[in-house]
Amino acid sequence: MARHLEIAHDLMEEIDEGRYAPGTALPTEDQLMSTYGTSRNTVRRALRELSSRGRIDTRQGSGSTVREYRPTVHLASSVKGEPDDERYTRYVERIKHEQGVEPTQRLRVIVEAATGRLARLMELDPSHTAGFVVIRRCDRYIGPRLWQRQLSYYPDFIAKGESKGAALMQPEDIPRGTRELLAELGYPQTKSWDVVGAKMPSLKDSALFGIGPGTPLLVHDRMAYSGNTPIRFTKTLMPADRHQLLYFEGDMTPESLRKATDVNIYDH
């Protein structure tokens, strides 16, 4: 093993074992050079390795500190009695509890033809007048930082089929939730599937979310049906160092859910 990787491995073990807690400073370059009897260049390569893995933050002239993670919970299961999985009011409550700040959101509505994978998933033909989707894009921010982007796609014939469906066309939050709205329109959700994965962000994604080196992007896809009719496809994009997914089974009390949202997977 190369010398700089040996040093990085030692430091990672000490971080994992709690010798260096989140937010605390690592030994200086001079101290590490003395400890390992090696050159400054080797020490810097070791620190760059830790930085690329998302374990430390390094600032010129300020040294290196162990990175502190305070992820928020993305509720990935339906809650009994709640009309929608990610209503903004619930999201605000969780963020205020977990991060100590109140997030903001920006909603945008777009109408476009369904093509490719989306057309296949939603069983729409873009060559037909009914082959369009209404996209509700919700960007959620903590301060100036984009924290989460959620894109929800609805068949055009639902959004424009009745007067109530016009709410989907407005760039405003729907307090009762889109799930309840769909039921009012005659499309109660009866089943759904989820796919969750992680991918390295594109340069555009890195700039959009302010993602540092070594951090993947979590992608949560959900397709909802009413009977066998696709009624909503939702894609949620989340930097993996800021989010953790919560799934549960059975009846959960509010207290049990609160305890679950307090879990931080980065804690030792």
Report whether 185 contacts 164 (CB < 8 A): yes
Q: What is the largest CA-CA distance in the chain?
A: 74
What pLDDT score does 83 carry? 47
Q: What is the pLDDT of residue 31?
A: 93
At residue 256 the predicted structure's pLDDT band, cuts being 50, 70 and 90, is confident
The C-alpha atoms of residue 224 and residue 183 are separated, in whole angstroms, by 12
Point out the least confidently predicted range of 61-70, 186-195, 219-228, 239-248. 61-70
Mean pLDDT of 184-207: 93
- Across 197-208, average pLDDT: 93
pLDDT: which is higher, 14 or 83 = 14
Q: What is the predicted pLDDT for the residue at 79?
A: 64
Q: What is the CATH number of domain 72-261?
A: 3.40.1410.10
Question: How far lies 93's CA from each of 44, 72, 108, 239, in Å?
Answer: 42, 11, 22, 20
Q: Where are the domains of the chain?
A: 3-66, 72-261
Residues 3-66, CATH architecture: Orthogonal Bundle (1.10)
Predicted TM-score of the model (pTM): 0.79
- Among 35-49, 65-79, 125-139, 184-198, whose mean pLDDT is lowest? 65-79
